[in-house]
Every structure is written in C-alpha cells, then in structure tokens.
Structure 1
C-alpha cells in the first residue's frame, strides 16, 4: 500500500505528504510487491526499482480486528542510505511463530540522490534528509492506521538493520530527542553511523549534480526547479558514488550519499546528541556480528592499501590519522582464505570503526542518561557458516538477519547452514526478538502459540551495564549455544580511540 504520495515532479526533494485517497468502494489489490526506491549505480528504467516507491507491506493474523491491539514490529531496512537492500523481507514466519500475536511492517524510503541530496538550495526550495522524513512519515502512518490491521498503535517497536539501525538511532535523537510517541522500544542490528556532515559541507555534491544534469546553466535560485523538471533517467545518471573532495579513485567511497546535520530533524551530530542525553529513552536491543567489516574492507596487500581505503571513505581523515589507525591495528594473524595478508586487519579496523564502536559508544551514553527502567540488551553474533569461513568472511555483517526473520524470508541471503547444523539458531534468535516486540524484554515469552513463561531452551539474556563493572552481552554461537560475556578491554580501548579521533576531526571543522 502507499503510505505517502508518489514523490514525483514537484514533490521531489520535499517532505512526504499524504497519498490521495482512493474512491470509496474501489478495491486495490495488494498481492505483489511494488517497486523499491532507486539506488545508486543502476540505469533507468531499473528492474524492480522506481522513483514512485513509497510503499508499505504488512503481515498480520488473518483473524485480527481493530480490537486485537497486537504489538507492532516496524522494520527499517538498510542499504547504506544508497539503496533499499533489505526490501520486502517476509514477516509471515515471525507472525506464525509468535502464535499470531504480533503485526509486522516493512517499507521503502528514498535513498541516494533521491533521498539525501543536500545544499542550502535544497533547504530553500524543498527539504533536507527526505529519506529520514519518509521513515518518520511511515511511523506516523502506522500510528494512524495500524489498528485496521489488528495492531496496537501505542505499542510499536522499531527495528533497523545497518543503515536502518542507524536510522533508529537518528529517530531516538530526532529534533533533539523530542518524543512524538511513535515507538515504545527499539532493536538495532549493526548500527551504522557514516560521516554525517552539515548541509553546508555538501554543496559540492549538489554542484556536481547540477553540472551533470545541465542545471548549472540556470541561476542558483532556479536550480531546484530545473532538477524537478528533468526526466528520471537524467537524474539517475548522476546517482552514483564519486570521490570526496581532495581524494582520488580508486577506491570510491562506499557511502557517498548520507544524512546530514540539518539543524532541524538532526540539530547536531547524533553522537553529540546522545552524549548530551538528548534522546528518547526506551528499552533497546543492540547487536553486531563478530566480523562486521569483512564484506566492506579492501583486500589489502599491505598497510598502504588500508590507509588509502580509509582516506577515501572518510573525507576528514589525514595521513597522520591513518598512521594512528594502523598503530591500533597491527597485522592480524593468521591470514584468511582467498585474501591478501592485510585483509584481516582492514576488516577488523573498518568493522569496529563503522559498526561495533558506534554501538559501544552509543550504549555508554544510553546507560549514562537512562533510568533504571530503561532496559538495554546487547549481543555479539558469532555463528559460523562453512561457506563464509571458506570465503574468509568469518561472521559477516547482518548474518544474524536470517535467524531473526527465518532463512526462507530474506531474499536468498542466508547461509546454507541455517537449514542444517545452524537450524537451532533460528528459534533462539527469533524467540528473543518476538519476546522483545511483545513485552520489551527478550526473556518473557517462549515460542508456544499460547505464550507463557520463558522457554528453558533460551538462556536468560542479562541486561547490559554501562556504568562500570561488567558490560555483559549475549554471545550467540554456532549451533544455537548462547552465553553471556564481558566486553573485552582491548575492544573498549579501540572504541575510545575512534571516539577521540572523531571528536578531533569534528573540532577542526
């Protein structure tokens, strides 16, 4: 279904608006997936992608009514803000395994050039961060309409993967932590915080788009109107990664289009807002995989490959910074299959810089400013798959998704082991998630249709303590074992390094 009007023509780069109501008595069939939003680097027209893409999918028990008031699981997909890469994940299995006691929602939002074009010219004649505004529109749509599908609008748990997890973080701090009562709990897989520049720092991106579309030939005040007049194919041809200023290729940055600090939705850097306690305090589940960087890192033959990769992906880093990075990340041994000798180092450094340490540092701020009623649960996913190990990937980014939604439901991204020796991991992880959606605690319910007490097959997931002492997280292992572990001191030290490095670069801006 549509949750917002098609963002076409005059609605390009504007905040989403309500869709036009269909005529009473008109039946719209919602039996096939509509297009996802246009991602970077694909030609237009693109198979399965389109500019008209603001659609929502819902899975609910067949017998649910407006009086059912079932907890709602609202999923924000990832894709690095450059693509809808987790689109249309099937919520049927989790609804069934919950005993038909929840409603699941997922949706598309604008990405790349279409969602995150930034400039003071965009602010003057449009809106910044429209991809995030799409997400917020969806959450408001859920609050207004989910009862018609059996959902409880006062019990929505928002869940994000990768950039979707980063988006969850941004909705926690949106408008300086203003609580619009859009959700009561949050779950994040691999929270992703890329560089988050101000709009003023992204004028070069707008200038490039204007030049590549011929809109640099009109006055600056008319350039947005010019862009809105262009055919989608012309704009999509400019929707690709390019070197940051002062950098050369290869490699190109992995995440060229990102949210920006706009002074409104994001009044400051998310890190600073979390540090100041300007966030909505709700129960949360946060987790990462052991080898977050393995699918992103360069196949580095030596330290210089790592330095170049970091410089090209983080525009404010200096050569002195990359020297410091390599001092904290000496060569990791043993080497990994199908990779050069310094790949393990590149993988670990990028995984911690981009996913693991943002979570670590955000957790510290969440605990510092939260009350004792705010339950925080964190995990490390360490489930090995023979194919991943043979490819030298370890436990890669979002490998936990197949266990959370079920391996048949995420578009073929699951490892083969989920149907054999890792099959027990699925009810374990799915049980924790369903329990949290239902009761804001992963330990409350088993997987029996009637609900009930905690299942004996699932170990108690202890709360994380960020105020000194043991910061315990659940570690999920191959075959479905799960235990609690402390955060290693060396990991905490490296996360402190990344935090200090980021602060130093921000202070220089």
Structure 2
C-alpha cells in the first residue's frame, strides 16, 4: 500500500482572486493527499462553480457565493457524479412519427449522484510548489453527454505516463437533461448547452488558479475521449472562433463523437423539450420552463433516464445544439472555414468505432436502408439510398458490418479527418488497431486504473506490453509536455518518428497495433484512400447531417 499523508485545508475566502494564497483557494471540499510511492499530490473535489440547483438549474454556471458544502466530504473522497443516464436501447428512433416515451415515470434514486456536481480534481507531479510552471493537461470525460465522472479517471496515471513534470486536471460537467436540455423556451429563459458552459467555466478557473498549484496557464492541453473529444471541437469553434480569452494551446482528441447537431429550435430538440414537459407533469403549467426549474430532482432524474433510454440503440438524445451564441454554426462547418482555436492538434481513432453502438440482433432484423433512417431520422429517401450505395459497394456483406461502418465513419472517424484538414501541417494522427479495436479500447492505456476498477467499456482484453504502452502513452504525453509526440521521455518507448499529418502532402498516420504473436506493431502508414473518399461523401452530405 502506498504511504499516504492526508490533510484537509479549509477557509476559502475568495475563490477567484488572482492574488489568493493557496490556503484561501482550497476549500474544505478538497482533500489533499501526497502519495509518497509515486511522488504525486492529489486535490480532489474542488468546487469550481456554484451548485446548479434551485433557480440555477438550466442556467449558465456561476461563481460560488459560499463554497461550504452542506455536509462533509471525507478525506481522499471524490465528489458526487452529475446525474447519469444511458445511450438509447430501442430498435427504432423515437423521432420518426412517434413520441419519445409514454406518460408514466419510474422514480429512481442513484447513489453517488447529485445536481451539485460541478467539481474538478487536480493531480500534481511531486509535492506542491507554486513556484513551478509545469505544463497542464485537462481531461474531459466521454459518455455521450449522459454519463461519466471524475472518479473513473485517475489523473495520477497521466502524470506517471509523462514521467512527471506535469499537472493533470479532471473535470465534471452537467449531463443529460440537466446539461443539455434544448428548445426555444430554454433559449429564452435559461442557458442552452449548459454542460459545455460548465466545461468552459472550469477551463477559465484553471486559467485563473492553476499557477497556485505550480501549473503554467500558458501551456494547457485539453484532451478528451468520445463526447469529451467532441466537446473540445465545440470549444475550438466557440463564439464563432473568436474567444476573448485563450483557454488552451493544444488539443488531443481520442475518438471524436460528433453526431448531427441541430439548431436549438429544430423539430427534434423541440420534441425532446415537449416530452420532458409531459413526463414531469408540467404540461398544464402556464410557464413550462419555470415548472421544470421547480420540479423535484427525482422526477427530473427519472425523466432523464426515460428520455435517453427511449433513443435508437447506440445513440444519445441529450446532446449539444447550435445555440446562436456559444455555438454559432455546426462545428465542422466552422472548422472548414478556419474557425478553430488551437495551435497544435493530435488525434486518434480506433479501427471499429461503431461496433459497440450497433445491436447485432436489431440489425439482423432490418435492411441497411431502415438502419440509416433510424440513425438519421431527418434524411430523405434520396439521401438514404445514396448512403446505402456507399456502404453496400465496399465488400461489407452483412447489414451488421455495413451498420458498424456507417455509425463509426459518419459520427467518429470522418469528423476527425475534417478537423485534421483544418490543422494540416500542425497535426498528428494515430490509429489504434489492437484487436478488437473497438471504441474506447484505447482508454485502458491512458488510464490503467480503469483495468483495476473493471470499468473499461465492453471489458475488451488489455494488451499489457511494456514497449507498446511506453510508445503509445509516451507520444501523447510528449505532446502535452513538449508540443511534440516525438519528444517522449519514457525509456521503454520504441515510437518511430511520428510525421506531421498534411492534407496536401503525405497523409501519414501512426499505426498502433500488435502482431499475431503479440509483439508491438507500431509504424507509420498512409491513410486509407477509400476511407477518405467516404469521408468526402459525408462532408458533401454535411448540410443534411449538421455536425
């Protein structure tokens, strides 16, 4: 067991003051643990925003007036997670001539979850020394904007993989209906994309305060996986690409999740709002938004579960929208116009991003045309036919294989290549292909503690190879520390020269795989031309799939 020295520091006087001392910064919500075995210091459960409860529900995050928590968080404890939900589980989309759900709700209360969940955790290399200026990596978790939390991802892992010398920050943000309820009523009375605003508020907190932990606010890399990676693209294009304050320098995306992003008042977001109003008993209220603000937490939590569960299998219902302020147009359209705020970019995708989001039983009972219609309910017949033609002519025999390819390429893989194009000459691309190569399989390398906790999606087997891990992890953390994946410092790394990805030159990416006899297979490869052709198809279709 590691030797732990724990202490509680109390007395936050003014959390946001730039001249605040460390003691006035850290509240009694933050447990501070120095782990002598790995030479790292942890700060858990730091409140970065006021509890989004009562009149602050569905509103933009605000500075805490009084950070004292009602109750005590024990030493070395993580904060409660934001309320969780799941991806859709149904064989059909609720947005094709049907209601999302019926009128009844099953009230459930999930332990360890709360509306009061806007916390972050900080992991410092070595003992605390505010005089240092270490690079900072901020982890934004995935989970389809409906599940996830800071306790799943140990920033200690990232600090260790960097060989020390960095600070890792893991943030939480509102999820599901609590963070992504949309519609014209929310626009008029509250804050659209509240979960994204939470993330941005946390990034602003880091800019103002990370120097007190020995971090350099001018050297911040944001890193996200799945919806966390999709969030990063949202922040790249925030405020039409013109941000008054720089929140990060570099960006890493692992498996960008970028489903169709509708305008806040399009039929689907308005339908979701209407169904939430009905589910929560606010249908007959003269002020539906105020009713939702006042409805008890358990009712809204139950509606959150029901709304998301009612979605088509593998899709997520409560997601970001184009709000006209933070997000002015669909992100990929903004990226294509050069409205992307970051200096350098590193991206990785997995071989079969779509596999875990396709139900083989459902796909076996439908043809590919029906699948496409369920996945993209706003497509017309011509668009469905054209999409089917793309994927029935590339050697994929079964509907299941075609569905996996469509899901993976349209929502995860091709959006990544569009962002790479915008950063051509200032980007690196990786491909994680260790079998089975499913979505999120790479997480187990960034966060080995996931293996210990048994929380890896689908529990795919972990390729436990020292050289592979050092090469794979070292590239990412070299990018964090030195702006270059080639400047890795782990002694066991055998990472070859990782070429810059160029849209107009050599489209080269780094393959991370293993051989049949389990030796690392890490080498540069050319991006598959057939894949790039299909990505051009999705780009051409983008006005109808508003990423």
TM-score normalised to structure 2 length: 0.80
CA contact (8 A) 1:38 1:50 kept: yes
The answer to whether 1:266 aligns with 2:266 is no
Counterpart CA distance in 1 for 2:181 and 2:254 is 26
Structure 1: where are the runs of 5+ without partners? 336-340, 385-393, 449-454
SS at match of 1:481: strand
Residue matched to 2:454: 412
Residue matched to 1:282: 343
Residue matched to 1:2: 47
Matching of residues 486-505 of structure 1 within 5 Å = 486-504=526-544
Residue matched to 1:364: 421
SS at match of 1:36: coil
Q: 1:382: Cα distance to partner?
A: 0.8
Matching of residues 81-480 of structure 1 within 5 Å = 81-84=145-148, 87-179=151-243, 180-201=245-266, 202-219=269-286, 222-240=287-305, 242=307, 251=312, 254-299=315-360, 304-330=366-392, 341-367=398-424, 375-384=426-435, 394-406=436-448, 408=450, 411-414=453-456, 417-418=461-462, 420=464, 422-447=465-490, 457-467=494-504, 469-478=505-514, 479-480=519-520
Q: 1:62: Cα distance to partner?
A: 3.7
Deviations 1:258-283 (A, max 9, x none): 11101100011111111111121410
Q: 1:225: Cα distance to partner?
A: 1.6
Residue matched to 2:84: 39
SS at match of 2:355: coil
CA distance 1:253–1:408, shift in 2 (3 Å) = closer
CA distance 1:27–1:233, shift in 2 (3 Å) = closer
Structure 2: where are the runs of 5+ without partners? 1-45, 87-105
Q: 1:133: Cα distance to partner?
A: 0.2
CA contact (8 A) 1:77 1:85 kept: yes
Counterpart CA distance in 1 for 2:415 and 2:448 is 27
Q: 1:88: Cα distance to partner?
A: 3.1
CA contact (8 A) 1:242 1:253 kept: no
Counterpart CA distance in 1 for 2:442 and 2:538 is 25
Deviations 1:177-227 (A, max 9, x none): 1232111100000011111111111222111111111212122xx222211
Deviations 1:144-199 (A, max 9, x none): 11122221111110001001001001100000112321111000000111111111
Counterpart CA distance in 1 for 2:311 and 2:84 is 21
Residue matched to 1:452: none
Counterpart CA distance in 2 for 1:121 and 1:503 is 25
Aligned residues: 471
Counterpart CA distance in 1 for 2:285 and 2:332 is 38
CA RMSD, 1 decimal: 2.7
Q: 1:435: Cα distance to partner?
A: 0.6
Deviations 1:395-452 (A, max 9, x none): 10021111123355684245675364x443211111111111101111113125xxxx
Q: 1:93: Cα distance to partner?
A: 2.8
CA distance 1:22–1:319, shift in 2 (3 Å) = closer
Deviations 1:470-491 (A, max 9, x none): 2111111114321111111111
The answer to whether 1:16 aligns with 2:80 is no
Counterpart CA distance in 1 for 2:409 and 2:143 is 18
CA contact (8 A) 1:173 1:273 kept: yes
Counterpart CA distance in 1 for 2:311 and 2:475 is 42
Q: 1:242: Cα distance to partner?
A: 4.9
Counterpart CA distance in 2 for 1:30 and 1:146 is 22
CA distance 1:106–1:305, shift in 2 (3 Å) = farther
1:483 to 523, 532, 538: 523
Residue matched to 2:16: none
